[in-house]
Amino acid sequence: MAVALALICAAVAGCGGSRGSTSKTTPLPALQPGRVGPESMFTIASQLTDNPTATLNQLKQLGVDRVHISLPWGSIAPDPQSHTRPAFDATDPAAYPAAGWAVYDKIVRGLAARHIGIDLALTGPPPVWAEATGGPKYDYNENDYKPDPAAYQLWVQAVGKRYSGTYTPPGQSTPLPRINFWSIWNEPNLGTFLAPETAHGGATVEIAPQLYRGLVDGAWKALHATGHGDDTILIGELAPIGNPGVGVFNVMAPLRFLRALYCVDANLRQLRGTAATARGCPATAGGSATFAADNPGLFHASGFADHPYPYGLPPDKASPGGPDDTDLAQIPNLESLLDRVNRIYGSSTRFPIWSTEFGYETNPPNVITVPMKTAALYLNWAEYLTWSDPRIKSYDQYLLDDPPAANGFTTGLNFYSGKPKPIYAAYRMPLYLPVSSTAKGHPVVVWGEVRPAPDAAAQTHRPQSVQIQFRSGASGAFKTVQRVKLTNAHGYFEVHQTFGSTGQVRLRWVSPGGQASFSRVAPVTLH
């Protein structure tokens, strides 16, 4: 569900070649022993609905804290391909076909049984009867054209009731587990998921932000009406990179989308007159004075979700698209704009940022993307940067297995066959050295994580530890040079370590069952 890679790699020479800082004069970053760090979120597509039990078991073994899964409105609704709305009580979960709910009920129960959290994204496509008529059609976008926010609100109300923790479906004997974590829609700045992005016949007036404003309001009211008002509710879910021309089904730069969503112009002045009314915004100062009260979801949501893919670039490099993008390197721009638009309306909200889709496409199988070894480095580097920003609350991995087409979005930890890629180990046990080249006798910072360790500690009631191992040169046996007790809630650690020569570093962790696992190997250079 992400934007096509072609936006970036063809435009950047040497896509994926940087190794990070290696200067021997670079000072070491200060240790941050109190940093809890982001939770591990995993976003998964049809693989979870196709084979829930096996997939959930793999996620449990990886140590995932929370799964982000989409619940498509049209997959639940009755007569989704009809142009005529069927007669039914849209707020009653039992009024929807039981078969539509079945796999999601199984997933929700399975996650609860494994003590894994869920972020349920209430997404399109809508049923055809809830879409505006007369609009253009994209070749693979059948719905998503001006979805009816009132109908969406009724559907979300049904979902909220079903997963309230007290609802027992007909024919079942026990209530479904409660869900307390939600996302509203998916990539609303992407025209294949919400259209039109801009007005017909021109790209100057943003339309999708107004549509999304209505969806947020509807979901906000529905979740509050069904006892979920104190839950975690995320808005945004933005694709990170836009196209300059935009268009009805194109991709709007996320910060442009955000400014229109909050009814301000490029200079962060509140919109007035026809510029405001064309975007569904208050046209007068009096209207702006009540904008925050009229749109509580935009100002009181629990957090803002972004999909900060770097699209083949090193994770500290901004995409060439422009300053309105929100890839990982430009998350500070997103944070700043969110703070400023809140202040414009008298709100002191400082949204936490949730990464709910992230990953690197790998070569193999996709030959135009990042080489596998480089992708492993970039993933660990990206998680370190995420951990370094206390405002980012999750580190996400998108896809467990690759799609069948080699030129698809190949961010999976496994190949399509299910065979693990090298990045599987890099995800399970991240390792990153912020400065990997230094003078002899000087320490380096070794940062890492054993993702399954907290769950192993909870299961065995025994503290877990990880070994930092080193070998001189590029061959020979690794030897343990430090054991680190893992006390962090997510399995992170950060320590100083001095090495005696140039060589290679890795992590080793032994599971409670006695199986040894290893991180990727990282080089250390001494001068």
User: Range(s) for CATH 3.20.20.80 in the chain?
Assistant: 5-428
- pTM across the whole model: 0.93
What CATH number has the domain spanning 5-428? 3.20.20.80
**Average pLDDT estimate for 425-429:** 98
**68/354 Cα distance (integer angstroms):** 11
Residue type, 402: D
> In 3-state terms, the chain is what percent helix, strand and coil (to 5)?
30, 20, 50
**Average pLDDT estimate for 281-310:** 97
**Average pLDDT estimate for 115-121:** 98
Residue 21 has pLDDT above 60, yes or no: no
Cβ neighbors of 60 (< 8 A, separation 6 or more) are 114, 116, 455
Class (C level, CATH) for 437-526 = mainly beta
SS3 147: strand
Q: Report residue 16's pLDDT band, with 50, 70 and 90 as the boundaries.
A: very low
**Listed range (11-25, 65-79, 157-171) with the worst mean pLDDT:** 11-25
φ/ψ bin of 324: left (φ > 0), alpha (ψ from -120 to 50), beta (otherwise): alpha
Give CA 254 to chain center in angstroms.
15
User: Range(s) for CATH 2.60.40.10 in the chain?
Assistant: 437-526
Tokens encoding 39: 């939770």
Q: Report residue 365's pLDDT band, with 50, 70 and 90 as the boundaries.
A: very high
